[in-house]
């Protein structure tokens, strides 16, 4: 499991440079991605950071050109938080545009995305479990995560800010998660988060060795 966060302070940036964390960036964030760190590009739709489609894609293009496609884990297509049908319509025109930049395209699944035809499986590389907390931790989201893995896709969970939620993401088969946990009290929360990740990753390695 790899955790994505904003580069909040010197110790967090150092952890990103060491590969212990990755950097999540958005159009409104304005932070410099630490040297050598892996990064992913969210679109800013959740909250107040959405600059409009044209400005978002210009930012995404410039970000990939600046930091390199080889370090980019993925980019999230524009979505409509909590609305599965509207998200499909919003995302579809952009998925191939993202892939054309040479980076993986990510689709943000929302409440109701488990209904037939609301995930464009053929056009995505990563399934992002977004939507409400209740939905993204539900059996319906778990089933979507399983289908994504069967299809050879990666799975990401957003807004993961506790050990319990991190373990839920791991149980769903997510390879990455993100949250704001380090934005508040990074001196205290960074060692705690790294311990949680080490616990998960050690358990996964032991299971693999025994399999």
pLDDT range class, residue 211, cuts 50, 70, 90: very low
**Domain CATH code at residue 179:** 3.20.20.60
Mean pLDDT, rounded, of the chain:
95
pLDDT higher than 90, residue 134: yes
- Full residue range of the structural domain in which residue 98 is found: 2-210
Q: What is the pLDDT of residues 60-80, one digit of tens each?
A: 999 999 999 999 999 999 999
Number of structural domains (the chain) is 1
Do you know the residue count of the chain?
211
The mean pLDDT of 90-111, rounded to a whole number, is 98
pLDDT higher than 60, residue 209: no
CB atoms within 10 A of CB 128: 27
At 48 the pLDDT is 85
Residue 89 is encoded by which pair of tokens? 């319509």
Alpha-carbon span 15 to 28, nearest angstrom: 23
At 42 the pLDDT is 97
Q: What is the pLDDT of residues 45-59, one digit of tens each?
A: 998 899 999 999 999
């Amino acid at each position: 499991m790899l955790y994505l966060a904003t580069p909040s302070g010197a110790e967090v940036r150092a952890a990103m440079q060491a590969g212990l964390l990755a950097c999540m960036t958005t159009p409104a964030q304005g932070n410099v991605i630490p040297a050598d760190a892996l990064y992913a590009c969210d679109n800013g739709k959740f909250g107040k950071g959405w600059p409009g489609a044209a400005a978002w894609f210009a930012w995404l293009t410039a970000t990939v050109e600046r930091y390199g496609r080889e370090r980019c884990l993925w980019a999230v297509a524009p979505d409509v938080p909590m609305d599965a049908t509207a998200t499909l319509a919003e995302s579809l025109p952009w998925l191939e545009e993202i892939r054309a930049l040479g980076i993986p395209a990510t689709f943000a699944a929302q409440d109701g995305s488990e209904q037939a035809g609301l995930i464009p499986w053929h056009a995505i590389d990563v399934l992002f479990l977004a939507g409400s907390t209740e939905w993204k931790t539900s059996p319906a989201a778990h089933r979507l995560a399983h289908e994504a893995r069967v299809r050879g896709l990666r799975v990401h969970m957003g807004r993961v800010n506790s050990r319990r939620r991190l373990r839920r993401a791991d149980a769903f088969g997510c390879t990455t998660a993100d949250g704001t946990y380090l934005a508040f009290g990074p001196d205290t929360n960074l060692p705690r988060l790294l311990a949680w990740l080490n616990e998960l990753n050690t358990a996964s390695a032991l299971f693999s060795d025994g399999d």
